[in-house]
A and B are shown apart, each in its own frame.
Chain A
Amino acid sequence: MALKGSGINPKKFHRSQIKFYIFLIPFAVFMMLPILFIVNHAFKPLDELYAFPPRFFVYKPTFENFQNLFELANTSGIPLSRYLLNSLIVTSAVVFLSVIISSMAGFVLSKKNFKGKFTLFEINNAALMFVPIAVIIPRFLTVSFLGIDNTFFAHILPLLAMPVGLFLIKQFIDQIPDSLIEAAIIDGASDFKIYWKIILPLIKPAIATAAILAFQLVWNDLETSTLYTTSENMRTLAFFMNTLAIETNVVVGQGMAAVASLIMFVPNLVLFIILQSKVMNTMSHSGLK
């Protein structure tokens, strides 16, 4: 008997979908447990953190751990606001600049003819598999050679060239019809004007996606704070939260560490929820040939 309909992307619920739910829901619960746990743990008062047998859910939620965390940061000499400010500066700079340079490069790689175009794109494709941590030492040496250690440049510059961002943006620009650009050329528009007035407004989903990937990379990044910075007041929130999570094994510390993880995690989540439809739109063009 021939199979009727594939059932991919169905419009409404059908009994045949139940088997997928049976598989997916327990899995989702398992995946969600650690995140639920961190939320609950962050709000537990001291006696619940100590409780034996340990309990998963919080019974009397409090902001105690949040207060402790802020107090600890204040007593350690450098206020939490300094780490936060550093993180905000670095994150916004990386997100903004990497989107600009990737979209500029993506535009010409997609819509212009010039020598070396395909080679460049091939090299970028190969660099998709680049794992910064593999060449952590030469990157460290490069940063010290440039003399930018202990400055914001050390946080920003190494993260700007994102092969994935360029790749996704270029693939997305590929589907913009050439006729649109030709029409603009006839009207006498310069390349910069075409990029600014036509390409950028049309590739908002890809920009959102590249931005979110850049955000995840830089917001969670430990490499630049650990290796390229020696002065404590140039380090980022991710670094501070991480030292907190690593060094505190005592129970009071657990509550604070949970708060720290939560603070690191929530912005990622919120941003993704806001932009998720744009991300999915971009991902449709993510094929690597």
Chain B
Amino acid sequence: MHTDKKTPYLFLLPYILLFLTFIIIPIIMAIYLSFTNFNTIERPDLIGFLNYINLLTQDEIFMQYVLPNTVLFAVIVGPGGYILSFLLAWCLAQLTTLPRMILALIFYSPSMTQGVAMAVVWKIMFSGNQSGYVNSILMRWGIITEPIIFLQDTRFILPIMIIVALWSSMGVGFLAMLAGVLNIDQTLYEAGAIDGIKNRFQELFYITIPSMKPQMLFGAVMAIVGTFSTGIIGVQLTGANPTPGYAGQLIVNHIEDYGFIRFEMGYAAALSVVLLLIIYMFSYISKKLFSET
């Protein structure tokens, strides 16, 4: 291969500059600010681990609502959306081209807006009076007699957020896994049949998944990103941050609450670091599951 000392760096320069400025530096800043007290007006002053200690010992809202909500939301939407994406991709691969394309488009389309721009649909559907669609149906079927104010009712906010997030979870990862299933070498299946693979499920576990591990990992990473990016949906649906009774409060909303409403940037940065660690942990688990080496 041709080696030239300077041009590669020239080609990389614009990307690296922007990557550093808007991805790497913000992450480093978040880590630094998390050890400070910073109100955006005065200079940040170092306070050691105080923000983290407060997070663990003082922030009742975080411990009582935000953390459990985030974990529940992430565990259902992350792996749930991921398994669903894979299952749908696998089923779609068993169909002929035209219906596969049409169905794939239908599954993919909600994710185009990450669900956020479509929050209004769900607001109308779950609207709290008797002419709300869900209320109307439930009342007609005699399941409830009084309309439920879904989006202000602490019992329903998180489940509705999970439904919306799952609905929009068939994104790039889903397309990658669909391409992955379609690209598996057909002779592998023939060889598998000779080696005594008896049914589609054995085929799935012994041939399909192992041969598309790289796509599975890519899909997993995309599922994690999608899950935490749709986290703001609760504020969109209820129209308020904090969400009513903190029922739909996730870490991303908590960060915004402290950062842009209370202007406690240092504390918000500590929350950011915790969120980055959670995301990293999820990715680490996926790597362990699907890494080829």
Q: Is the CB of A245 within 8 A of B186?
A: no
Q: Mark A235-273, 1 if CB is under 8 A from B, else 0.
A: 000100110011101000010011011001100110011
The main secondary structure of chain A at its interface with chain B is helix
CB of A45 to closest CB in B, whole Å: 15
Q: Is the CB of B8 within 8 A of A142?
A: no
B61 at the interface (CB under 8 A from A): no
Q: Identify the stretch in B23-31, B47-55, B153-161 within 8 Å (CB) of chain A at 4 or more residues.
A: B23-31
A241 and B113 CA atoms in complex are apart in Å by: 13
CB of B166 to closest CB in A, whole Å: 10
CB of A35 to closest CB in B, whole Å: 6
Known: A135-B272, A138-B26. A37 touches B121 (CB 8 A): yes
Q: Is the CB of A161 within 8 A of B18?
A: yes
Residues 128-146 of B contacting A (Cβ, < 8 Å) = 130-133, 136, 140
Q: Mark A143-181, 1 if CB is under 8 A from B, else 0.
A: 000100000000001101101101000000000001001
For the complex, count residues of B whose C-beta is within 8 A of A.
120
- A108 contacts across to B, CB distance below 8 A: 7-8, 11-12
CB of B7 to closest CB in A, whole Å: 4
CB of B193 to closest CB in A, whole Å: 5
A130 at the interface (CB under 8 A from B): yes
- Find B11's partner among A32, A37, A195, A268 (CB 8 Å cutoff): A195
Residues 223-245 of B contacting A (Cβ, < 8 Å) = 224-225, 228-229, 231-232, 236, 239
CB of B230 to closest CB in A, whole Å: 10
Q: Is the CB of A238 within 8 A of B255?
A: no
Q: Is the CB of B12 within 8 A of A288?
A: no
A78 at the interface (CB under 8 A from B): no
CB of A278 to closest CB in B, whole Å: 11
Closest residue of B by beta carbon distance from A7: B94
CB of B74 to closest CB in A, whole Å: 12
A99 and B121 CA atoms in complex are apart in Å by: 32
Residue among A117, A158, A246 with max Cβ neighbours from chain B (10 Å): A246
A128 and B25 CA atoms in complex are apart in Å by: 16
The main secondary structure of chain B at its interface with chain A is helix
Known: A23-B91, A129-B279. A6 touches B19 (CB 8 A): no
Closest residue of A by beta carbon distance from B139: A53
- A260 contacts across to B, CB distance below 8 A: 120
Q: Identify the stretch in A10-18, A60-68, A69-77, A82-90 within 8 Å (CB) of chain B at 4 or more residues.
A: A10-18
Q: Mark B276-293, 1 if CB is under 8 A from A, else 0.
A: 100110110000000111
Q: Mark B88-111, 1 if CB is under 8 A from A, else 0.
A: 100111111101010101111110
Q: Is the CB of A113 within 8 A of B197?
A: no
Closest residue of A by beta carbon distance from B276: A134
Closest residue of B by beta carbon distance from A37: B121
Closest residue of A by beta carbon distance from B287: A288
- B259 contacts across to A, CB distance below 8 A: 136-137, 140
- A8 contacts across to B, CB distance below 8 A: 93-94, 181-182, 184, 186, 189
- B225 contacts across to A, CB distance below 8 A: 128-131
Q: Is the CB of A289 within 8 A of B291?
A: yes
A24 at the interface (CB under 8 A from B): yes
Residue among A31, A142, A178 with max Cβ neighbours from chain B (10 Å): A31
Closest residue of B by beta carbon distance from A165: B15
- Find A138's partner among B25, B117, B140, B282 (CB 8 Å cutoff): B25
Q: Mark A113-145, 1 if CB is under 8 A from B, else 0.
A: 110010010001001111111111111111000
- Find A137's partner among B25, B30, B179, B217 (CB 8 Å cutoff): B30
- Find A53's partner among B101, B136, B275 (CB 8 Å cutoff): B136
- Find A10's partner among B94, B125, B280, B291 (CB 8 Å cutoff): B94
A21 at the interface (CB under 8 A from B): yes
A92 at the interface (CB under 8 A from B): no
Q: Is the CB of A24 within 8 A of B91?
A: yes
Q: Is the CB of B175 within 8 A of A288?
A: no
A269 and B111 CA atoms in complex are apart in Å by: 10
B215 at the interface (CB under 8 A from A): yes
A241 and B3 CA atoms in complex are apart in Å by: 50
B65 at the interface (CB under 8 A from A): no
Chain A residues with a Cβ under 8 A of chain B: 1-13, 17, 20-21, 23-25, 27-28, 31-32, 34-35, 37-38, 41, 50-54, 56, 100-102, 104-105, 107-109, 111-114, 117, 120, 124, 127-142, 146, 157-158, 160-161, 163-164, 166, 178, 181-182, 185, 191-192, 195, 213, 216, 220, 222, 227, 238, 241-242, 245-247, 249, 254, 257-258, 260-261, 264-265, 268-269, 272-273, 276, 279-280, 283-284, 286-289
Q: Besides A9-B182, A283-B172, 11 other CB < 8 A contacts? A: A6-B207, A32-B109, A108-B7, A108-B8, A114-B8, A129-B280, A129-B282, A161-B22, A178-B1, A268-B113, A287-B214
Chain B residues with a Cβ under 8 A of chain A: 1-5, 7-9, 11-12, 14-16, 18-19, 21-23, 25-27, 29-30, 33, 40, 88, 91-97, 99, 101, 103, 105-110, 112-114, 116-125, 130-133, 136, 140, 167, 170, 172, 175-176, 178-184, 186, 189-190, 192-194, 196-200, 203, 207, 212-215, 217-218, 221-222, 224-225, 228-229, 231-232, 236, 239, 252, 255-256, 259-260, 265, 268-269, 272, 275-276, 279-280, 282-283, 291-293
Q: What are 7 sample pairs from A and B whose C-beta atoms fall under 8 A apart?
A: A54-B133, A102-B15, A113-B1, A135-B27, A141-B29, A283-B175, A288-B214
